[in-house]
Structure 1
Amino acid sequence: MVSLSEVRTHNATLSSLAPNLVAIFVGGTSGISHYTALEFARNTRSPHIYLVGRNAAEAAKITSELKSINNSSKVDFIQKDVSLLRKVDEVCKEIKEKEKKVNLLFMTIGYMTLKGRNETEEGLDHKFALHYYARTRFMHNLAPLLDAAAKDEDPKATLSRVVSVYDPALGKNNDFDFSDPSLKNNFSLKNCATHGSALGNFAIEHLAKQWPNTSFIHEQPGIVETSGGRNPWLKPLYALLSPFSVSKKESGERHLFEATAPRYAPRAKAEAVQGVVNGGDGVKGSGHYHLSWNGEAQPDTKRGMKMRAEGAEEKMWAHTSEVFQKICEEGGKY
């Protein structure tokens, strides 16, 4: 476990980084993205923060909050429903028109539901689209800008990291149906969770090889009160779990640590970093990391190793590329 004192000591050093770091918080109008954006503003100099979400009223409140913490912050809100991949492309296009580099892509999009499969107009389940396809489309589209940040001439401006907050363990401990990766035929909430996790694990493994100057993190956040806590049906549950939960402040601090700490170094730079942790494949410094809520690297599992031996990375990326091709390049439906 990374102690909270270690987290805070590290975060306090971030003011030594170059000013004007660019951070994108997808799902930034609530929950963990909100808490992490606050800590990013608190600990960096003149940051440029993008909040991506649907709720303009909440975004206005958070923008004021960020400005009050650090009046040198620049904050842009992009209002989009990113459960649609074509809307993800619109967000990325807008960012690319304004920025030449991105230092941090931080994603928490998703929602709780007890309903069954609910297809978007693009042919993907709405929940599954948020938990996997949209996140991966953001990574795919913004990888060149993240790579540009990693190659900045100023060594204090080379932060280049992706953090996707979901749960890597689900995809390493449960069976994956290779014959139905998008769950057109075998959808259940359990299968959706497993597939979203497994696809997410192997997507960052693939991207870490393609873009070795950027580090990719898939993290399980623990129990944290998010926007769901405002739901009257969920308030009693949060109250019951409060002794085991992570506070909003601590969650933001820990996620900022994961978004910036050298121990989660990109593949190309890991050899030179003391204390770099094992990647999701069990290889030290592989550039793709599976983390627990407390910053510890999760070990690989026998099931995860078996999937890798069966060509999971290649199969899952082939499926993802097919989805992107049909929806984003051809303008069709999957």
Structure 2
Amino acid sequence: MVLQYFLPQSLEGVSLAQVRSHNSSLKNLAPGLVAIFVGGTSGISHYTAREFARNTTSSHIYLIGRNEKEAARITQELQTINSSSKVDFIKKDVSLLREVDAACKEIKEKEKKVNLLFMTIGTLTLKGRDETPEGLDKKFALHYYSRMRFIQNLAPELTAAANDADPKANLSRVVSVYDPFIGKKGVPNFADLSLKTGFSLGACATHASAMQNFALERFARMYPATSFIHEQPGGVETGLAKSPIWKPVYFLAKPFLVEKVESGERHLFEATAPRYAPKAKAGGVEDVVIGADGVKGSGFYHLSWNGAASGPSDKETAMRADGAEKKIWEHTEEVYKKICAESGKY
């Protein structure tokens, strides 16, 4: 996407000096950390992968995307930044859940542990519902179903990393870059969670955000040694900034954007800083932030572009009390079952 929104959240965040100080300390972590960047051939994932390579030792980076040419260029760039890093590209169209499963299978055959799962996949479109061969809207699939499928598939490897006996090697974190705040303000249509009949771009944004918020809360409870972050990145120049359609929008918005390098630095901070600790380890962290449920160190966090954490909204609290998480996950499991285990279409 060209823009990932302007900078709407005024919550007090983390200074760039703090970010850079922390990132420079990552060389002290164990060598060989494994990081997966879904959407890694452009934009925020690319910027973050670059900082991950720069600040870690002998890391193994996976880039997942469709653009083989860009992947080759980025691979060379990352290895130039840090010759000790290893970079693998997995070419998949992850708007399809079966392609997500195939990508995860390839990783699981090579890795016993995964330290970071970082996801930015999405598409900027003004079209209406655009159904994939699996029966899901493409935009909605990228923003919700595919991301949660990656987490579900790779949870064992994330848990194995979290349980590493070496405290310098037990980083275990999931970062999903989208926007938790839309889902704090809006309520999904629980009678049509997949938006088969009531699709609109606004409804898609509300559903993808709110459903992701509750799904990540569920994952944090199931896997308390891994932390889960849903982040709104502010305005950032990404791949479509060169598009004739979106170039004028980018030009007008440029004064409000987070610069590319700073975006990568800030996202690396969110992906590694102790203040966003998993629930199982939050007790020993002095500056641990408030969780999305309002509890400090709860293991799932809603962050603004500058690293500021936000507690629950009144609408979220009401939805939680009404069993939103259970309804959303039962629907999600039904989608996965029909597509991945049965007919291949929802």
Aligned to 2:3: none
Q: Could you tell me how far 1:163 is from its partner in structure 2?
A: 0.2
Q: Could you tell me how far 1:331 is from its partner in structure 2?
A: 4.0
Q: Could you tell me how far 1:308 is from its partner in structure 2?
A: 0.7
CA RMSD in angstroms comes to 0.7
Q: Could you tell me how far 1:242 is from its partner in structure 2?
A: 1.3
Q: Could you tell me how far 1:237 is from its partner in structure 2?
A: 1.3
Q: Distance in 1 between matches of 2:259 and 2:331?
A: 38
- From 239, 242, 262, the counterpart of 2:274: 262
- Aligned positions of 1:1-334 closer than 5 A: 1-334=13-346
Q: Could you tell me how far 1:298 is from its partner in structure 2?
A: 1.7
What secondary structure is seen at the aligned counterpart in 2 of 1:224? coil
Q: Deviations over 1:119-165 (max 9, x none)?
A: 11111000000000000000000011000000112110000000000
Q: Deviations over 1:244-287 (max 9, x none)?
A: 11000000000000000000000111112111111111111111
Q: Could you tell me how far 1:299 is from its partner in structure 2?
A: 2.5
Q: Could you tell me how far 1:239 is from its partner in structure 2?
A: 1.5
What secondary structure is seen at the aligned counterpart in 1 of 2:316? helix
Which amino acid letter does the alignment assign opposite residue 38 of structure 1? R
Contact 2:27/2:57, CA 8 A, preserved across alignment: yes
Q: Could you tell me how far 1:332 is from its partner in structure 2?
A: 2.6
TM-score, structure 2 as length reference: 0.96
Which amino acid letter does the alignment assign opposite residue 174 of structure 1? G
Q: Which ranges of structure 2 fall in alignment gaps of 5 or more residues?
A: 1-12
Distance 1:226 1:314, change over 3 A: same
Q: Could you tell me how far 1:240 is from its partner in structure 2?
A: 1.1
Runs of 4+ off more than 3 Å: none
Q: Percent identity?
A: 69
What secondary structure is seen at the aligned counterpart in 2 of 1:199? helix
How many residues align? The count is 334
Q: Could you tell me how far 1:314 is from its partner in structure 2?
A: 1.0
Residues 54-63 or 318-327, more deviating: 318-327
Which amino acid letter does the alignment assign opposite residue 50 of structure 2? L
Which amino acid letter does the alignment assign opposite residue 84 of structure 1? L
Which amino acid letter does the alignment assign opposite residue 279 of structure 1? G
Q: Distance in 2 between matches of 1:29 and 1:331?
A: 31
What secondary structure is seen at the aligned counterpart in 2 of 1:92? helix
Which amino acid letter does the alignment assign opposite residue 248 of structure 2? P
Q: Deviations over 1:174-200 (max 9, x none)?
A: 121111100001000000000000111
TM-score, structure 1 as length reference: 0.99
Q: Which ranges of structure 1 fall in alignment gaps of 5 or more residues?
A: none
